[in-house]
Amino acid sequence: MLGLGYVLLFSPVLGVRSIQVVGNRSVPADAVVAAANVPTGSPMLRVDIDGVASRVAGLPQLASARVVRSWPSTLLVEVTERTPLAYAKASDGAHLIDATGHDFQTTRTPPNGLPQLLVSRVAPDDASTKAALQVLGALPAQLRKITRSVSAQTPGDVRLALTGNRTVQWGGTDSSSRKAEVLAALLSRPGTVYDVSSPDLATVH
């Protein structure tokens, strides 16, 4: 019994021989393996899988990571990548922002169709950032497709810039589903300013 315990806890006989990464699309598997930082031959039972998951999840492009042991010698790393909802323009390029407000990647140019986020401070704990992204996330695909930017000077003053030089005064994040329905109907009418801040009293100018 002692011999079996030694084999399980200390011997490289049941050591890590490979790390398999699943769920990654743009993040290279090699980058995930490097972040995991598990030496080959480490006894499987002695690997701190929560610690490994925490290190992997520290990669900016990842929203989460989960690690499980796949006997006899493989660690399975399941990752979820962040998805850009908007971008913020800066001197070094376009910063991709996910739905939680995390700035996770910088590119020379923003992806086609991605709206610009215009707030004074882009951060997960910034109230205006959260409001703008919440509204953007509430838009159905057909409205998001024609949205060029979302701005918020305050959490209660969210505005959208649409194609065709049209502006939407959205207001706060309350009743966003209702506001989206009303806006979709209003856009059939000509105008440049669509005010849905009070969706039951929406106006077009």
Domain ranges of the chain: 2-81, 84-204
pLDDT of residue 3: 45
CATH-assigned architecture of domain 2-81: Roll (3.10)
**CA-wise closest residue to 81 among 135, 22, 133:** 22
pLDDT of residue 12: 58
- Distance set, CA 9 to CA 37, 39, 57 (Å): 19, 15, 26
pLDDT band at 14 (very low <50, low <70, confident <90, very high): confident
pLDDT of residue 166: 99
Provide mean pLDDT across the span 140-149.
Answer: 97
Summary mean pLDDT of the chain: 95
pLDDT band at 147 (very low <50, low <70, confident <90, very high): very high
The answer on pLDDT for 202 being more than 80 is: yes
Distant-in-sequence, close-in-space partners of 91: CB < 8 Å, separation ≥ 6: none
pLDDT band at 54 (very low <50, low <70, confident <90, very high): very high
- The answer to whether domain 84-204 has CATH 3.50.30.30 is no
pLDDT band at 13 (very low <50, low <70, confident <90, very high): low
